[in-house]
Structure 1
Amino acid sequence: MTVLDTGDKRPGIGTDAAEGGRGGLADPRAASLTRRTLPRQVPWAIAGGGVLLTIVFKLTLDNWALAVFLAGVIFIVALSAVSWRFEDARRARDRFATSLISTTFVLAVLPLVSLLGYTIQRGVDKLTPYFLSHSMRGVGARDDTGGVYHAIIGTLEQVGLATLIAVPIGLLTAIYLVEYGRGRLAKTVTFFVDVMTGLPSIVAGLFIYAFWILMLGFEASGFAGSLALMILMLPTVVRSAEEMLKLVPNELREASLALGIPKWRTVLKVVLPTAFGGIVTGVMLSIARVIGETAPLLLLVGLTQSINTDPFSGWQSALPLYVFDQNHAGNKFAEERAWAAALTLILIVMILNLAARLIARWKAPKAGR
């Protein structure tokens, strides 16, 4: 019996194609995936060269911002050119996009880092336990004494009252817009929230001054300042909470409702705990937005050098007011106090953010519960 050989003997078909990965003819598409790539050290070496160029440009031009910008442009062009020469066009485009994003991120972070570093440099020497535990009562222009204790109390009380008012109102508004809001009323609320987002702080201060002090006859106090800060906090709280609630999967709501749980209880027990971390982050953003405001407090709080723990009666200082006052005092001791108070304000914001992150992580839903 004769056995017919039906195997295809064309090149690249049959046996040769099967052996393509073992020395035969390979698929060109597979070969394109194994082209040369730059070693990992090359981008870092080019970045190191960019740092050296930054130093050279700084010494030559005496301008940090221009030096960093020029070094960043050279880094992007150099990395893209090297990738184009030793890799291929697709990888070169990817390197260009990656280096552009990385450089712009560095350019965006540098002002923040430089501001923080300069504030620490100018204010750390004055930031002592004595400075944090004494007020400015009885301190003269030539006295290298006094502290910021009265301003810390004022800031914590004013921002705390504003938060106690703004967070419930903002959270309930966000819940209404996401869970219940349909129709003209929801659109109207959204419109006014958008308008309030861009509201200048002095306008909020003037509104509270006209309504609370001129119309109702109340005196300037820490609580009046809290009302202005509350107006500035509201849109941030509403918008951040609204976006976090929208991220909660609808399947969770549907599963809860399918078990016969009422809508309000589903929101309270399912939706809010799931979005808790994001809501806390939004609240901290709103606090950071208003804790450094000066203009409304100049109109509504007054300025005192003594300790006042009652935000509902009498003038009360605050850290932004303290910095403003010491910066205009016109002596070297006041300038040191101003920088130390600014550093204190930054530290308070950092501590509050850290505490909020820890609380959010502690209260976040855990797998298996």
Structure 2
Amino acid sequence: MSELRFEGVTVRYGRALTAVDGVDLTVPSGQVVGLVGESGSGKSTLARAAVGLAEPAGGQILLDSVPLHHRPGARRPLQMVFQDPYSSLDPRMTIGDSIAEAMPRDSSRPSRRDEVVRLLELVGLDADRVSAYPGALSGGQRQRVAIARALAGKPEVLIADEITSALDVSIQGTVLNLVRTLQRELRLSMLFISHNLAVVRYVSDIVAVMYLGRIVEVGPAHDVLGNPQHPYTKELLAAAPRRGSTSLPPPDEALVADAEPADPHYPPAGCRFHPRCPIGPLIRTDREHCLTLDPTAEADHRLHRAACHHAAGVLRAVGSNPPVLMQLKEDSQ
């Protein structure tokens, strides 16, 4: 088990687009951090930076407090399972060869064969699949192979990027159950990425919410989901499927909820969520400060590190003691 930490990580594509903007996030040892946000929020770019597929323009990524250095041919302590099971495996290689290719080079051929069989059984596939080609497998089976291949590299941290979004709904649950079981049995540290808050809720110990390249709320899963502080988190929760839920949002909330996300090339000044915020300046004329003041500057002092000027809780120092949580009532939330 190892701790993965992002400190002020920024990733740019060209000069115009900052896909990840000063992200601070920790994946504690042996825990699952669920990173959630809509498409274009920067989740996958952050994951790609962690495994060396995108070069950070600023900040650093640390594993057990040591900066990560991605060198060709070196062992990779982070392994990633990608979204599309149909493109993550070489169609010309057998399943056994694909898994064996990811193993450390110091293992012998007989031990590699035994390990391939063990990994296939670990992810719920029969050993006779070792000689099959990806084209003979279903999407769910391919994703199981992709998970086995990632585990073959003996990672210290596993990154799962939207691993169920390309699968049929009927098999998403089995893959999620597999991921949760493997994480507990192997005591893996994991960054689990999804746009679906219901999926993140199922597997995560900690939930981090990302919007337009920034983390806008983070905390223990039961706290964030039970008492969300950022309006965007509340919007994601409201959009998550619930049994028997047919209620419609109030007219004011519906007005901004239907607004298009901002262009990431030109993020809004102040609070980046303000053009869509149901408690922001489009609804409340007394909140023009949201147009110009960046709420991330004081996020560390709010409950769940919420990047919102109107979060319901703040941290305040009391005497010489460490900061304690003070709940403040907000008349509009």
TM class by smaller structure: under 0.3
Whichever of the two has the greater Rg, that structure is: 1
Taking structure 2 as the reference length, the TM-score comes to 0.23
Structure richer in strand, relative to its length = 2
Structure richer in helix, relative to its length = 1
